[in-house]
Amino acid sequence: MATRKNSTDEPLAPLTLAVGQEDLLLDRAVRDVVTAARAADADTDVRDLTSDQLQPGTLAELTSPSLFSERKVLIVRNAQDLGADTVKEVKAYIAAPYEEITLVLLHAGGVKGKGLLDAARKAGAREIACPKMTKAADRLSFVRGEFRTLGRSATPEACQTLVDAIGSDLRELASAAAQLCADVEGTIDEAVVGRYYTGRAEASSFTVADRAVEGRAAEALEALRWSLSTGVAPVLITSALAQAVRAIGKLASAPRGARPGDLARDLGMPPWKIDRVRQQMRGWSADGVSDALRAVAAADAGVKGGGDDPEYALEKAVVAVARAARPQRR
């Protein structure tokens, strides 16, 4: 989980600084502040802004006194990209923040925008580190922390198996840990993780996903029915579909001409998967990826109790993903 770099652990501190590029940790830093603010005042006004939305004068307008003295949370994303005039206004504000207003700055770190970063630290900001976890050891610590946060015990072997099975996507790791905690009683061990995320279940669920993102609807539906008939959990299939579509989106947005080894490091995929995804992504578009992810999200909600027929929800998702693929003629 995100690590705090100072002794202050008060989410409603006047200024919270979340530094890093790991989206899940940045989102959690924001969530913690908003949750605390709304626990203190259910009518808290939350404004979530990108750097281009915070123009000169905007901060003064948002922090102007209210007749009702309402609590506010102001979130500024990509603060390193703020313009020079806006940075001056932010620096002036954090030197003398207003009561009942919590400002949350999300900053990528590094050299760009370092003046604002330094000013926030000098002002005594509550700082949360949200670094990209590029090392397997960091991801392993993350998984252990997830189980601790959920109040559950997991063996070291179980944590390692989960990291090996899921890979580098923190959202997927967090989702998998939460699913295990919801479904399994007692200590979570290697056998339990293996039953959920490796072996035949993994192979069959990823076969469904591979055929779907290749646009082979009939083959994907056949693999889906076989998987369900052999007892594969529907949530594993939606997870595999999500991972497959996200992999296409990641690779499609990667720099052209990059070497497979560099892509594998930057995208958190093994080199062999880079080659496979390159073949699968032919015919995909940005709109197709968005449509497919929405379809998978709807299916995920359906198999987790949001619908009456999980099998039908999965079939709809598989067909939608295959349609979004718009494959080349073979």
Per-residue pLDDT of 198-257, as tens digits, reads: 654 455 678 888 889 999 899 899 888 888 876 777 888 898 899 899 988 888 887 776
Buried-exposed string 129-163: b where 16+ CB fall within 10 A, e elsewhere: bbebbeeeebbbbbbbbbbeeeebebbeebbbbbb
Whether residue 173 is found in the same domain as residue 260: no
Whether residue 103 is found in the same domain as residue 168: no
Residue 280 belongs to some domain of the structure: yes
Whether residue 83 is found in the same domain as residue 171: no
Give the model's confidence band at 329: pLDDT under 50 very low, under 70 low, under 90 confident, else very high.
very low
Rounded mean pLDDT, 50-77: 86
Among candidate residues 146, 147, 153, 311, the one with its CA nearest the CA of residue 233:
311
User: What pLDDT score does 314 carry?
Assistant: 94
Q: What are phi and psi of 130, to 5 degrees?
A: -130, 60
Q: Of 129-133, 192-196, 245-249, 254-258, which gets the smallest average pLDDT? A: 254-258
The edge-to-edge listing of strands for the beta sheet with 72-77 is: 3-4, 126-130, 15-20, 101-107, 72-77, 45-50
Rounded mean pLDDT, 174-202: 80
Residues shown for the chain: 330
Mean of the per-residue pLDDT values for the chain? 85
Whether residue 80 is found in the same domain as residue 153: no
Residue 106 belongs to some domain of the structure: yes
Whether residue 33 is found in the same domain as residue 103: yes
Residue 9 belongs to some domain of the structure: no
Q: How far is CA 243 from the centre of its chain?
A: 12
Whether residue 214 is found in the same domain as residue 189: no
String of DSSP letters for 130-197:
E----SHHHHHHHHHHHHHHTT--B-HHHHHHHHHHH-S-HHHHHHHHHHHHHH--S-B-HHHHHHHH
Domain carrying residue 168: 136-197
Residues paired with 17 in a beta bridge: 105, 127
Whether residue 254 is found in the same domain as residue 156: no
The sign of the dihedral angle between the CA atoms of 245, 250, 251, 256 is positive
Rounded mean pLDDT, 104-131: 94
Q: Where are the alpha helices (DSSP H) in 154-307?
A: 156-166, 170-183, 190-197, 200-213, 217-229, 234-252, 260-267, 271-280, 286-301
Question: How far is Cα 25 from Cα 27, in angstroms, rounded to an integer?
Answer: 5
CATH value at residue 176: 1.10.8
Q: Are 200 and 230 in contact (CB under 8 A)?
A: yes
CA-derived radius of gyration, the chain: 22
Total domains in the fold of the chain: 3
Give the model's confidence band at 4: pLDDT under 50 very low, under 70 low, under 90 confident, else very high.
very low
Q: How far is CA 168 from the centre of its chain?
A: 11
User: What pLDDT score does 280 carry?
Assistant: 86
Residue 1 belongs to some domain of the structure: no
Whether residue 172 is found in the same domain as residue 278: no
Q: What are phi and psi of 72, to 5 degrees?
A: -130, 145
Whether residue 193 is found in the same domain as residue 239: no
Rounded mean pLDDT, 27-55: 92
CATH value at residue 65: 3.40.50.300
The residue out of 83, 105, 130 marking a domain boundary is 130
Residue 6 belongs to some domain of the structure: no
CA triple 6-83-34, angle to 5 deg: 45
pTM > 0.85: yes or no? no
pLDDT tens, 140-182?
A: 999 999 999 999 999 998 898 888 777 778 888 898 899 899 8
The residue out of 86, 107, 130 marking a domain boundary is 130
